[in-house]
Amino acid sequence: MLAHAARIILIFAALQVAGGHWLALQSVAWMGMLVRYSQSEPLATAVEETFSGERPCTLCIFVQKGQSEEQKQQATQAVKKFDAVLGPESGTPLPQAAEWNYVQVVRQLSARAHAPPSPPPIA
């Protein structure tokens, strides 16, 4: 249940960041206009009137103003520069080279202690 709620919250956050709230408001405005125009005119004419943009409703105007203000804010934020200042080089010494001394392992094979069996075993 918690994972499902987290996914829903993540989807809403992504829509908010991507500007989905303006799309949702614009959709509500279009539906309201479509309902209002279809009460007095045929449906085809109501659809044409709704999406023509000639007579926007107050919610459409609000969405247009909000989108333009948001674009202006994003444009001013994009102009800001970030000047990185590098500090002085640190005086950390480099590691010294060390000589590795390995222990030499010498193994000598000794001769067999026992002679092989004289008649070979029968398999």
Q: What is the pLDDT of residues 65-89, one digit of tens each?
A: 988 888 887 767 666 666 677 777 7
In a domain, 14, yes or no: no
pLDDT at 112: 66
Residue 78 has a pLDDT of: 61
- DSSP letter for each residue of 30-82: HHHHHHHHHHHS-HHHHHHHHHHSSS--HHHHHHHHHHHHHHHHHHHHHH---
Residue 91 lies in a domain: no
User: What is the model's pLDDT at position 80?
Assistant: 63
What's the number of domains the chain is made of? 1
The answer to whether residue 54 sits within a structural domain is yes
Tens-place pLDDT, residues 44-58: 888 888 888 888 888
The rounded percent of the chain whose pLDDT value lies above 70 is 85
pTM of the full structure: 0.50
Whole-angstrom distance, CA of residue 2 vs CA of residue 76: 39
In a domain, 40, yes or no: yes
Domain that holds residue 34: 20-77
Is the pLDDT at 42 greater than 80, yes or no?
Answer: yes
11 domain-assigned: no
> Residue 41 pLDDT more than 70?
yes
Q: How much is the pLDDT for 49? A: 86
In a domain, 62, yes or no: yes
Flag whether 38 is in a domain. yes
Residue 49 lies in a domain: yes
